[in-house]
Amino acid sequence: MTPPEPRRRSASAHLAILEATWEEVVEKGYAGLTVEGIAARAGVGKQTVYRWWPSKAAVLLEALNARTAQTSDFPDTGDIAADLAGQITGVAEFLASDGGVVFKALLAGAQSDPELAEDIRRQVIEPRTQACADRLAKAQAAGELRADVDPVDIVELVYAPLYYRLILGTRPISAPDMRHQLDRVLAGLRA
Amino acid sequence: MTPPEPRRRSASAHLAILEATWEEVVEKGYAGLTVEGIAARAGVGKQTVYRWWPSKAAVLLEALNARTAQTSDFPDTGDIAADLAGQITGVAEFLASDGGVVFKALLAGAQSDPELAEDIRRQVIEPRTQACADRLAKAQAAGELRADVDPVDIVELVYAPLYYRLILGTRPISAPDMRHQLDRVLAGLRA
Q: What φ, ψ does residue B190 adopt, rounded to 5°?
A: -65, 145
Residue B91 C-alpha, separation from nearest chain A C-alpha, in angstroms: 15
A120 vs B contacts (CB less than 8 Å): 168
Amino acid identity, position B78: G
A170 and B157 within 8 Å at the Cβ level: the answer is no
Average pLDDT of the residues in B153-172: 97
How many Å from the N-terminal Cα to the C-terminal Cα in chain B? 62
Q: What is the pLDDT of residues B60-107, one digit of tens each?
A: 999 998 888 655 568 899 999 999 999 999 999 999 999 999 999 899
The alpha carbon of residue A148 and the mean position of all alpha carbons in its chain are separated, in whole angstroms, by 28
Position A5 scores a pLDDT of 63
DSSP B23-48: HHHHHHHHHH--HHHHHHHHTS-HHH
Q: What is the pLDDT of residues B114-158, one digit of tens each?
A: 999 999 999 999 999 999 999 999 999 999 999 999 999 999 999
CATH 1.10.357.10, applies to A64-187: yes
Distance, CA of A25 to CA of A60 (rounded, Å): 8
Share of chain B above pLDDT 70, in %: 93
Asked if residue B29 lies in contact with residue B102, where contact means CB atoms within 8 angstroms, the answer is no
A167 and B163 within 8 Å at the Cβ level: the answer is yes
Asked if residue B175 lies in contact with residue B93, where contact means CB atoms within 8 angstroms, the answer is yes
Position A1 scores a pLDDT of 47
Position B112 scores a pLDDT of 81
Is the pLDDT reported for residue B9 higher than 80? Answer: no
Please, where are the H alpha helices in chain A? 5-32, 35-42, 46-52, 56-68, 80-96, 98-110, 114-120, 126-141, 151-168, 175-187
Asked if residue B109 lies in contact with residue B30, where contact means CB atoms within 8 angstroms, the answer is yes
Q: What φ, ψ does residue B188 adopt, rounded to 5°?
A: -90, 0
Position A71 scores a pLDDT of 54
Residue B82 C-alpha, separation from nearest chain A C-alpha, in angstroms: 18
Is the pLDDT reported for residue B7 higher than 50? Answer: yes
Question: Of residues B11 and A62, which shows the higher confidence score?
Answer: A62
All CATH 1.10.10.60 domain ranges in chain A, comma separated:
5-59
Position A146 scores a pLDDT of 96
Distance, CA of B106 to CA of B26 (rounded, Å): 11
Q: What is the mean pLDDT of each run of 10 residues along chain A (191 residues)?
A: 61 93 92 94 96 93 84 82 95 94 90 90 93 96 97 98 96 98 97 88
All CATH 1.10.10.60 domain ranges in chain B, comma separated:
5-62
What is B5-62's CATH topology? Arc Repressor Mutant, subunit A (1.10.10)
What Rg do the C-alpha atoms of chain B give, in angstroms? Answer: 19
Position B62 scores a pLDDT of 93
From B160, B137, B166, select the one nearest A185 (Cα to Cα). B160
If you ran DSSP here, which 8-state letter would residue A123 be given?
Answer: I
Report ipTM (2 d.p.): 0.91
**pLDDT band for position B1 (50/70/90)?**
very low
All CATH 1.10.357.10 domain ranges in chain A, comma separated:
64-187
A126, A164, A170 ranked by CB distance to B121: nearest:
A170
From A177, A170, A169, A185, select the one nearest A92 (Cα to Cα). A177
Whole-number average pLDDT of chain B: 91
From B122, B116, B121, select the one nearest B30 (Cα to Cα). B116
A170 vs B contacts (CB less than 8 Å): 121, 125-126, 129, 156
B108 and A105 within 8 Å at the Cβ level: the answer is no
Asked if residue A97 lies in contact with residue B94, where contact means CB atoms within 8 angstroms, the answer is no
A115 vs B contacts (CB less than 8 Å): none
Position B66 scores a pLDDT of 87
Is the pLDDT reported for residue B17 higher than 60? Answer: yes
CATH of domain A5-59: 1.10.10.60
